[in-house]
Structure 1
Amino acid sequence: MGTVEAVCISAKKGIIKKPVEQVELKENWGIADDAHAGDWHRQVSLLAGESIDGVKDKLPQIGHGVFAENIVTRGVDLAGLKIGDQLLINGEVLLEITQIGKECHNSGCAIKKATGDCIMPREGIFSKVLKGGTVKAGQSIEVRPGTGSPQGAPEKTAP
Protein backbone atom coordinates (compact mmCIF):
# COMPACT_ATOMS: atom_id res chain seq x y z
CA MET A 1 0.00 0.00 0.00
CA GLY A 2 1.27 3.46 -0.89
CA THR A 3 0.48 7.02 0.09
CA VAL A 4 -0.41 10.36 -1.43
CA GLU A 5 2.68 12.57 -1.23
CA ALA A 6 1.17 15.75 -2.69
CA VAL A 7 -1.85 17.10 -4.58
CA CYS A 8 -1.58 19.86 -7.19
CA ILE A 9 -3.87 21.95 -9.42
CA SER A 10 -3.66 24.64 -12.09
CA ALA A 11 -6.24 27.09 -13.40
CA LYS A 12 -5.01 26.79 -17.01
CA LYS A 13 -3.73 23.98 -19.21
CA GLY A 14 -0.12 24.06 -20.37
CA ILE A 15 1.34 25.41 -17.12
CA ILE A 16 2.85 23.74 -14.07
CA LYS A 17 0.49 22.89 -11.24
CA LYS A 18 0.79 24.27 -7.72
CA PRO A 19 0.72 22.11 -4.60
CA VAL A 20 -2.35 22.64 -2.41
CA GLU A 21 -3.38 21.27 0.97
CA GLN A 22 -6.23 19.16 -0.42
CA VAL A 23 -8.35 18.65 -3.52
CA GLU A 24 -11.95 17.67 -4.06
CA LEU A 25 -12.47 14.97 -6.69
CA LYS A 26 -15.83 14.87 -8.40
CA GLU A 27 -17.26 11.72 -9.95
CA ASN A 28 -16.93 11.58 -13.75
CA TRP A 29 -15.35 15.04 -13.75
CA GLY A 30 -11.96 15.21 -12.02
CA ILE A 31 -10.55 17.71 -9.55
CA ALA A 32 -12.59 20.80 -8.75
CA ASP A 33 -10.80 23.99 -9.84
CA ASP A 34 -8.30 22.12 -12.05
CA ALA A 35 -7.99 22.96 -15.74
CA HIS A 36 -7.87 19.30 -16.80
CA ALA A 37 -11.20 18.35 -15.20
CA GLY A 38 -13.99 17.48 -17.60
CA ASP A 39 -15.97 14.75 -19.28
CA TRP A 40 -13.02 12.85 -20.79
CA HIS A 41 -10.61 10.04 -19.93
CA ARG A 42 -7.72 12.11 -18.51
CA GLN A 43 -9.44 13.73 -15.54
CA VAL A 44 -6.64 13.16 -13.01
CA SER A 45 -2.91 12.69 -13.63
CA LEU A 46 -0.60 10.78 -11.32
CA LEU A 47 3.17 10.61 -11.08
CA ALA A 48 5.35 8.65 -8.67
CA GLY A 49 7.41 10.66 -6.19
CA GLU A 50 10.21 8.20 -6.92
CA SER A 51 10.18 9.35 -10.57
CA ILE A 52 10.46 12.98 -9.49
CA ASP A 53 13.37 12.04 -7.20
CA GLY A 54 15.30 10.81 -10.26
CA VAL A 55 15.04 14.22 -11.93
CA LYS A 56 16.13 16.03 -8.76
CA ASP A 57 19.67 14.77 -9.43
CA LYS A 58 19.79 17.19 -12.37
CA LEU A 59 17.53 19.91 -10.97
CA PRO A 60 17.38 19.82 -7.16
CA GLN A 61 14.89 22.71 -7.05
CA ILE A 62 12.16 20.70 -8.81
CA GLY A 63 9.04 20.42 -6.70
CA HIS A 64 5.60 18.88 -6.88
CA GLY A 65 3.41 19.94 -9.80
CA VAL A 66 6.27 20.78 -12.17
CA PHE A 67 5.31 17.94 -14.52
CA ALA A 68 1.63 19.04 -14.40
CA GLU A 69 0.71 16.06 -12.21
CA ASN A 70 -2.36 16.23 -9.97
CA ILE A 71 -1.43 13.51 -7.49
CA VAL A 72 2.10 12.54 -6.48
CA THR A 73 2.30 9.03 -5.05
CA ARG A 74 4.89 7.29 -2.89
CA GLY A 75 5.26 3.51 -2.64
CA VAL A 76 2.87 2.70 -5.51
CA ASP A 77 4.20 0.83 -8.55
CA LEU A 78 2.58 3.13 -11.12
CA ALA A 79 4.69 1.56 -13.89
CA GLY A 80 3.10 -1.80 -13.11
CA LEU A 81 -0.47 -0.55 -13.52
CA LYS A 82 -2.62 -1.48 -16.49
CA ILE A 83 -5.57 0.19 -18.16
CA GLY A 84 -8.66 -0.62 -16.06
CA ASP A 85 -6.77 -1.01 -12.77
CA GLN A 86 -8.17 1.04 -9.93
CA LEU A 87 -6.69 3.11 -7.12
CA LEU A 88 -8.61 3.45 -3.86
CA ILE A 89 -7.49 6.52 -1.92
CA ASN A 90 -8.17 6.70 1.81
CA GLY A 91 -10.79 3.95 1.45
CA GLU A 92 -13.10 6.45 -0.27
CA VAL A 93 -11.98 7.98 -3.58
CA LEU A 94 -11.87 5.54 -6.49
CA LEU A 95 -9.89 6.20 -9.69
CA GLU A 96 -9.71 4.00 -12.78
CA ILE A 97 -6.58 4.02 -14.94
CA THR A 98 -7.48 5.10 -18.47
CA GLN A 99 -4.14 5.99 -20.08
CA ILE A 100 -0.47 5.29 -19.50
CA GLY A 101 1.94 7.93 -20.75
CA LYS A 102 1.15 10.75 -23.16
CA GLU A 103 2.57 12.56 -26.11
CA CYS A 104 5.05 15.27 -25.25
CA HIS A 105 4.49 18.79 -26.49
CA ASN A 106 5.96 19.30 -29.99
CA SER A 107 8.59 21.77 -28.84
CA GLY A 108 9.23 19.93 -25.56
CA CYS A 109 8.27 21.22 -22.14
CA ALA A 110 10.39 23.51 -19.99
CA ILE A 111 11.60 20.57 -17.90
CA LYS A 112 12.74 18.65 -20.98
CA LYS A 113 14.61 21.71 -22.19
CA ALA A 114 16.32 22.13 -18.82
CA THR A 115 17.13 18.48 -18.09
CA GLY A 116 17.15 16.87 -21.51
CA ASP A 117 14.30 14.60 -20.44
CA CYS A 118 10.65 14.73 -19.38
CA ILE A 119 9.21 11.83 -17.42
CA MET A 120 5.47 12.46 -17.81
CA PRO A 121 5.20 10.97 -21.33
CA ARG A 122 6.73 7.69 -20.10
CA GLU A 123 5.79 7.54 -16.44
CA GLY A 124 2.63 9.61 -16.09
CA ILE A 125 -0.63 7.78 -15.45
CA PHE A 126 -4.08 9.16 -16.20
CA SER A 127 -7.40 8.25 -14.67
CA LYS A 128 -11.06 9.07 -14.39
CA VAL A 129 -12.94 9.50 -11.13
CA LEU A 130 -15.38 6.68 -10.37
CA LYS A 131 -16.12 7.88 -6.82
CA GLY A 132 -15.26 11.35 -5.56
CA GLY A 133 -14.14 12.79 -2.25
CA THR A 134 -11.34 14.74 -0.61
CA VAL A 135 -7.69 13.81 -1.21
CA LYS A 136 -4.66 15.18 0.65
CA ALA A 137 -1.08 14.24 1.43
CA GLY A 138 -0.60 11.32 3.79
CA GLN A 139 -3.67 9.35 2.72
CA SER A 140 -3.36 5.70 1.78
CA ILE A 141 -3.51 4.36 -1.79
CA GLU A 142 -4.55 0.78 -2.48
CA VAL A 143 -4.16 -0.78 -5.94
CA ARG A 144 -7.07 -2.89 -7.18
CA PRO A 145 -6.51 -4.96 -10.32
CA GLY A 146 -8.98 -4.15 -13.08
CA THR A 147 -10.94 -6.36 -15.38
CA GLY A 148 -9.59 -4.96 -18.63
CA SER A 149 -9.72 -1.83 -20.72
CA PRO A 150 -12.56 0.65 -20.28
CA GLN A 151 -14.44 1.14 -23.54
CA GLY A 152 -13.18 4.00 -25.63
CA ALA A 153 -9.99 4.62 -23.64
CA PRO A 154 -6.61 4.35 -25.35
CA GLU A 155 -4.47 1.41 -24.28
CA LYS A 156 -1.19 3.32 -24.34
CA THR A 157 0.07 6.50 -25.86
CA ALA A 158 3.58 6.43 -27.28
CA PRO A 159 5.90 9.18 -26.00
Structure 2
Amino acid sequence: MAGRVTAVSRNATYSFSKPHRESVTLLAGLGVEGDVHAGETIRHQFRMTYEPDLPNLRQVHLMHEELFDELARKGFDVSAGQLGENITTRGVDLLGLPTGTLLHLGEEAVVEVTGLRNPCAKINDFRKGLLGEMFAMDPVSGEFTFKSGVMGVVRQGGVVRPQDPVEVELPPAPHRPLERV
Protein backbone atom coordinates (compact mmCIF):
# COMPACT_ATOMS: atom_id res chain seq x y z
CA MET A 1 0.00 0.00 0.00
CA ALA A 2 1.21 3.49 -0.78
CA GLY A 3 -0.37 6.87 -0.31
CA ARG A 4 0.64 10.45 0.23
CA VAL A 5 0.71 13.16 2.86
CA THR A 6 -1.84 15.88 2.11
CA ALA A 7 -1.20 18.23 5.07
CA VAL A 8 1.02 18.63 8.12
CA SER A 9 0.10 20.52 11.28
CA ARG A 10 1.48 21.31 14.72
CA ASN A 11 0.73 23.58 17.65
CA ALA A 12 2.98 24.55 20.54
CA THR A 13 0.00 25.12 22.85
CA TYR A 14 -2.98 23.00 23.84
CA SER A 15 -5.89 23.72 21.54
CA PHE A 16 -8.31 21.52 19.66
CA SER A 17 -7.12 22.36 16.13
CA LYS A 18 -3.58 22.64 14.80
CA PRO A 19 -2.51 25.12 12.11
CA HIS A 20 -1.09 23.92 8.80
CA ARG A 21 2.65 24.12 8.21
CA GLU A 22 4.83 23.87 5.12
CA SER A 23 6.63 21.03 6.87
CA VAL A 24 7.02 19.35 10.24
CA THR A 25 10.13 17.74 11.67
CA LEU A 26 9.68 14.40 13.40
CA LEU A 27 12.12 13.65 16.22
CA ALA A 28 12.89 10.01 17.06
CA GLY A 29 11.37 8.99 20.38
CA LEU A 30 9.69 12.36 20.89
CA GLY A 31 7.19 13.30 18.17
CA VAL A 32 6.63 16.47 16.17
CA GLU A 33 9.18 19.17 16.94
CA GLY A 34 7.43 22.19 18.44
CA ASP A 35 4.16 20.33 19.08
CA VAL A 36 2.63 20.32 22.55
CA HIS A 37 2.17 16.53 22.41
CA ALA A 38 5.86 15.77 21.76
CA GLY A 39 7.73 13.97 24.54
CA GLU A 40 8.88 10.62 25.85
CA THR A 41 6.10 10.45 28.44
CA ILE A 42 2.41 11.06 27.92
CA ARG A 43 1.43 14.60 26.92
CA HIS A 44 -2.33 14.19 26.59
CA GLN A 45 -3.64 17.05 28.76
CA PHE A 46 -6.22 15.02 30.70
CA ARG A 47 -4.22 11.79 31.03
CA MET A 48 -1.13 13.63 32.32
CA THR A 49 -3.03 14.36 35.54
CA TYR A 50 -3.31 10.68 36.51
CA GLU A 51 -0.73 8.83 34.35
CA PRO A 52 2.16 11.30 33.93
CA ASP A 53 4.94 8.69 33.73
CA LEU A 54 3.44 6.44 31.05
CA PRO A 55 5.32 6.16 27.75
CA ASN A 56 3.94 8.53 25.12
CA LEU A 57 2.29 6.25 22.56
CA ARG A 58 0.54 9.32 21.08
CA GLN A 59 3.54 11.29 19.79
CA VAL A 60 2.04 11.70 16.31
CA HIS A 61 -1.63 11.79 15.32
CA LEU A 62 -2.37 10.72 11.73
CA MET A 63 -5.75 11.04 10.06
CA HIS A 64 -7.04 9.88 6.69
CA GLU A 65 -8.35 12.69 4.49
CA GLU A 66 -11.07 10.35 3.21
CA LEU A 67 -12.81 10.90 6.56
CA PHE A 68 -13.34 14.56 5.64
CA ASP A 69 -14.98 13.49 2.37
CA GLU A 70 -17.33 11.20 4.32
CA LEU A 71 -18.14 13.94 6.82
CA ALA A 72 -18.84 16.45 4.04
CA ARG A 73 -21.46 14.08 2.59
CA LYS A 74 -23.14 14.23 6.01
CA GLY A 75 -23.06 18.02 6.15
CA PHE A 76 -19.92 18.57 8.26
CA ASP A 77 -17.26 20.96 6.97
CA VAL A 78 -13.97 19.65 8.36
CA SER A 79 -10.48 19.98 6.94
CA ALA A 80 -6.92 18.95 7.77
CA GLY A 81 -5.61 19.96 11.18
CA GLN A 82 -9.02 20.91 12.54
CA LEU A 83 -9.40 17.66 14.50
CA GLY A 84 -5.94 18.00 16.01
CA GLU A 85 -3.98 15.68 13.75
CA ASN A 86 -0.33 16.26 12.85
CA ILE A 87 -0.27 14.40 9.54
CA THR A 88 -3.16 14.02 7.12
CA THR A 89 -2.92 11.27 4.50
CA ARG A 90 -4.78 10.07 1.42
CA GLY A 91 -4.69 6.59 -0.07
CA VAL A 92 -3.73 4.70 3.10
CA ASP A 93 -6.28 2.68 5.08
CA LEU A 94 -4.95 3.90 8.42
CA LEU A 95 -7.78 2.35 10.43
CA GLY A 96 -7.20 -1.06 8.84
CA LEU A 97 -3.51 -1.25 9.72
CA PRO A 98 -2.30 -3.64 12.40
CA THR A 99 -0.49 -2.49 15.52
CA GLY A 100 3.23 -2.09 14.87
CA THR A 101 2.88 -1.05 11.22
CA LEU A 102 5.70 1.24 10.11
CA LEU A 103 4.77 4.27 8.02
CA HIS A 104 7.64 5.65 5.96
CA LEU A 105 6.91 9.35 5.45
CA GLY A 106 8.90 11.36 2.94
CA GLU A 107 12.58 10.64 2.54
CA GLU A 108 13.55 9.65 6.10
CA ALA A 109 10.83 9.69 8.74
CA VAL A 110 9.34 6.47 10.12
CA VAL A 111 6.33 6.33 12.47
CA GLU A 112 5.22 3.13 14.19
CA VAL A 113 1.44 2.89 14.55
CA THR A 114 0.53 2.26 18.20
CA GLY A 115 -3.28 2.41 18.15
CA LEU A 116 -6.49 4.25 17.45
CA ARG A 117 -7.18 7.78 18.60
CA ASN A 118 -9.88 7.82 21.21
CA PRO A 119 -12.24 10.65 20.20
CA CYS A 120 -13.11 13.05 23.00
CA ALA A 121 -16.18 15.16 23.76
CA LYS A 122 -14.35 18.30 22.57
CA ILE A 123 -15.20 17.17 19.04
CA ASN A 124 -18.80 18.19 19.71
CA ASP A 125 -17.60 21.61 20.91
CA PHE A 126 -15.89 22.00 17.53
CA ARG A 127 -18.95 20.87 15.51
CA LYS A 128 -22.19 19.89 17.26
CA GLY A 129 -23.04 16.25 16.52
CA LEU A 130 -19.62 15.41 15.08
CA LEU A 131 -18.61 13.07 17.91
CA GLY A 132 -21.26 10.56 16.83
CA GLU A 133 -19.65 10.40 13.39
CA MET A 134 -16.31 9.33 14.90
CA PHE A 135 -17.58 5.79 15.54
CA ALA A 136 -18.43 2.99 13.09
CA MET A 137 -20.31 -0.22 13.77
CA ASP A 138 -19.36 -3.39 11.93
CA PRO A 139 -22.68 -4.78 10.63
CA VAL A 140 -21.46 -8.39 10.89
CA SER A 141 -19.64 -8.51 14.23
CA GLY A 142 -21.52 -5.73 15.98
CA GLU A 143 -18.19 -4.34 17.17
CA PHE A 144 -17.53 -0.63 16.89
CA THR A 145 -14.34 1.20 16.05
CA PHE A 146 -13.07 4.73 16.24
CA LYS A 147 -12.70 6.64 12.97
CA SER A 148 -10.71 9.63 14.24
CA GLY A 149 -7.29 8.47 13.07
CA VAL A 150 -4.35 6.60 14.49
CA MET A 151 -1.56 7.41 16.89
CA GLY A 152 2.10 6.57 16.57
CA VAL A 153 5.63 6.99 17.87
CA VAL A 154 8.56 8.29 15.84
CA ARG A 155 11.11 5.54 15.19
CA GLN A 156 13.24 7.58 12.78
CA GLY A 157 13.21 11.35 12.49
CA GLY A 158 12.94 13.44 9.37
CA VAL A 159 11.08 16.27 7.68
CA VAL A 160 7.56 15.60 6.37
CA ARG A 161 5.79 17.80 3.82
CA PRO A 162 2.50 17.76 1.94
CA GLN A 163 2.76 15.58 -1.18
CA ASP A 164 5.41 13.33 0.41
CA PRO A 165 4.84 9.62 -0.21
CA VAL A 166 3.61 7.30 2.53
CA GLU A 167 4.92 3.75 2.29
CA VAL A 168 3.36 1.08 4.51
CA GLU A 169 5.49 -1.69 6.05
CA LEU A 170 3.37 -4.30 7.80
CA PRO A 171 4.77 -6.07 10.87
CA PRO A 172 5.38 -9.83 10.84
CA ALA A 173 2.26 -11.97 11.20
CA PRO A 174 0.21 -12.67 13.18
CA HIS A 175 -1.14 -9.13 13.06
CA ARG A 176 -2.75 -7.48 16.09
CA PRO A 177 -5.70 -5.18 15.40
CA LEU A 178 -5.50 -1.58 16.54
CA GLU A 179 -6.91 -0.72 19.93
CA ARG A 180 -7.38 2.76 21.38
CA VAL A 181 -4.40 4.35 23.06
TM-score with structure 2 setting the length: 0.75
Deviation at 1:115, TM superposition (A): 3.6
| Residues 41 and 22 (structure 1), Cα distance of their counterparts in 2 relative to 1, 3 Å cut | same
Q: Tell me which of 69, 72, 78 is aligned to 2:85.
A: 69
Percent identity of the aligned residues?
30
Count of matched residue positions in the alignment of Structure 1 and Structure 2: 152
When the two chains are superposed, the root-mean-square deviation of aligned CA atoms in Å is 2.4
Alignment of 1:59-98 (within 5 A): 59-60=76-77, 62-98=78-114
Deviation at 1:48, TM superposition (A): 0.3
Asked if the contact 1:43–1:127 (Cα under 8 Å) also holds between the matched residues in 2, the reply is yes
Over residues 105-159 of structure 1, what are the superposed CA-to-partner deviations in whole Å (9 max), with x where a residue is unaligned? 356542452545353843410000000010000000000001379xxxxx5129x
Gaps of 5+ in 1: 150-154
Asked if the contact 2:64–2:92 (Cα under 8 Å) also holds between the matched residues in 1, the reply is yes
| Residues 78 and 28 (structure 1), Cα distance of their counterparts in 2 relative to 1, 3 Å cut | same
> CA–CA distance in 2 between the matches of 1:105 and 1:139?
29
> CA–CA distance in 1 between the matches of 2:82 and 2:161?
18
Deviation at 1:53, TM superposition (A): 1.4
Alignment of 1:93-112 (within 5 A): 93-102=109-118, 104-106=119-121, 109-111=124-126
Deviation at 1:31, TM superposition (A): 0.4
TM-score with structure 1 setting the length: 0.84
| Residues 116 and 105 (structure 1), Cα distance of their counterparts in 2 relative to 1, 3 Å cut | closer
1:26 matched to 2:27? The reply is yes
Gaps of 5+ in 2: 41-55, 136-145
